[in-house]
């Protein structure tokens, strides 16, 4: 009789795939303290660093996506895929998982494909309102598909879909009790309103350019700015730290304090950010990145804006930003309705609900 269970998890490429994978692993570890965990990621992607930092072992596959533009890199894709399928098969034979969980990203394709071939139960967690090609292919053989949005029946077999939401940081569930602490942490003037700008961990060029152009506008409106400009752009924008009421951060470690201290949020629309902002429940202006596969950020943002729960501003419309933001600033009723409506879309128990589904497969 096998003493402990072996859990294989694959997801990566971006924080939006890695952090849900780690959150699921952490919850499983609480329920099965003796379980063995192994992650599978893509070599030289951020999961190879972030997963060991979270205390888990990871193996890397030689895999990357197909470029949408014509590219020499695409010629190597069949070789990478073949190599990754072979290596994933070896990992599975050696580790003997009881279940394989995929949270999206290049490596989860070969890993779950080989798990399916070996008859191992698989669960996929789709974060976006418009699934990527990997999860669409994997869904045919997957046992369970945990989703965060409605109306995914046209992509996935309806009997496999469970709406759970996306795993989020648990420290966000109590941000309303942290407002004063958050304002102190960022040394803010408590008599002024604050806007928080989020462009993702690497940063977003167009969002950063927009904020730089509008620093004088924010000053005239008496607004304080907490600006997370990202790792790639910090050297370019840190000079604005000299300005009164503006603080530029490469990365924000205490996101709970940043959310608690802010009155308005301007953000990209990656799946994890959208899920967090639903829990935070503040007025949000989404500026989705048009440069991601399937344009899923625009679709994520639109699914929230269509419910009158956020404002969607496309990159092609950024010249209207001062009018849009000033209108919101002057309309307290609109601020309140956006905050209430987005909070209604929150699914705070997502991690627990996903792990409940994992448990059902383990018990089978």
How is residue 261 written in tokens? 């201290």
Assess contact for 56 and 37: CB atoms under 8 A: yes
d(CA 4, CA 117): 23
233, 205 in Cβ contact below 8 A?
A: yes
Residues 47, 48, 50, 56: is their CA dihedral positive or negative?
Answer: positive
- DSSP letter, residue 167: -
Residue 305, number of CB atoms within 10 A of its CB? 20
167 burial (CB, 10 Å; 0-12 / 13-18 / 19+) is: buried
Place of tokens 């496309």: 314
Contact (Cβ atoms closer than 8 angstroms) between residue 322 and residue 156: no
Two tokens at 303? 């699914």
Yes or no: say if 134 and 108 are a contact pair by the CB < 8 Å rule: yes
Q: Is 16 marked within a binding site?
A: yes
Helix (H) or strand (E) holding 319: none
Name residues whose C-beta falls within 8 Å of residue 242's C-beta, 6 or more positions apart in sequence.
none
356 marked among binding-site residues: no
Whether 297 has a binding-site annotation, put simply, is yes
Q: Show Cβ contacts of residue 309 under 8 Å, excluding neighbours closer than 6 positions.
A: 278, 338, 341, 342, 344, 345
Is 15 annotated as contributing to ligand binding?
Answer: yes
Q: Is there a binding annotation on residue 336?
A: no
129 is an annotated ligand-binding site residue: no
The answer to whether the beta carbons of residues 285 and 264 sit under 8 Å apart is yes
Q: Is residue 14 annotated as involved in ligand binding?
A: yes
Kind and range of the H or E run holding 360: helix 350-363
Question: How many CA atoms, within 13 angstroms, populate the side-chain half-sphere of residue 94?
Answer: 9
Nearest-angstrom CA–CA distance, 274 and 11:
19
349 is in an annotated binding site: no
CA distance linking residue 148 with residue 205, whole number of Å: 28
Residue list, annotated binding site for UDP-N-acetyl-alpha-D-glucosamine:
14-16, 128, 169, 201, 252, 297
Residue list, annotated binding site:
14-16, 128, 169, 201, 252, 297
């Amino acid at each position: 009789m096998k003493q402990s269970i072996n859990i294989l998890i694959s997801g990566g490429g971006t924080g939006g795939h890695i952090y849900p994978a780690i959150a699921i692993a952490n919850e499983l570890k609480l329920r099965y303290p003796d379980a063995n965990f192994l992650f599978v990621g893509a070599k030289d992607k951020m999961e190879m660093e972030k997963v060991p930092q979270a205390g888990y072992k990871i193996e890397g596959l030689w895999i990357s996506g197909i470029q949408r533009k014509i590219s020499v890199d695409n010629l190597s894709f069949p070789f990478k895929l073949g190599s990754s399928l072979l290596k994933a098969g070896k990992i599975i034979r050696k580790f003997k998982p009881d279940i394989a969980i995929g949270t999206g990203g290049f490596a989860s394709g070969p890993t779950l494909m080989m798990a399916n071939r070996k008859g191992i139960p698989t669960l996929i967690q789709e974060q976006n309102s418009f699934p990527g090609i990997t999860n669409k292919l994997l869904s045919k053989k997957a046992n369970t598909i945990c989703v965060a949005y409605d109306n995914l029946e046209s992509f996935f077999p309806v009997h496999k879909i469970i709406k759970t939401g996306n795993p989020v940081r648990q420290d966000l569930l109590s941000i309303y009790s942290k407002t004063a602490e958050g304002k102190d942490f960022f040394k803010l003037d408590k008599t002024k309103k604050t806007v928080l700008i989020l462009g993702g961990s690497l940063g977003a060029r167009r969002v950063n350019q927009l904020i730089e152009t509008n620093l004088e506008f924010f000053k005239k409106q008496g607004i304080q700015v907490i600006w997370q400009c990202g790792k790639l752009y910090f050297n370019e924008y840190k000079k604005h730290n000299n300005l009164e009421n503006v603080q530029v951060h490469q990365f924000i470690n205490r996101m709970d304090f940043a959310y608690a201290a802010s009155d308005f949020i301007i953000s990209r629309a990656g799946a994890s950010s959208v899920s967090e902002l639903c829990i935070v429940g503040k007025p949000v202006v989404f500026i989705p990145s048009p440069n991601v596969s399937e344009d899923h950020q625009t679709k994520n943002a639109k699914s929230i804006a269509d419910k009158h729960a956020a404002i969607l501003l496309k990159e092609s419309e950024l010249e209207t930003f001062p009018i849009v933001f000033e209108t919101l600033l002057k309309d307290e009723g609109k601020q309140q309705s956006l905050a209430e409506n987005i909070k209604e879309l929150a699914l705070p128990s997502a991690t627990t609900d996903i792990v409940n589904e994992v448990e059902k497969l383990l018990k089978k």
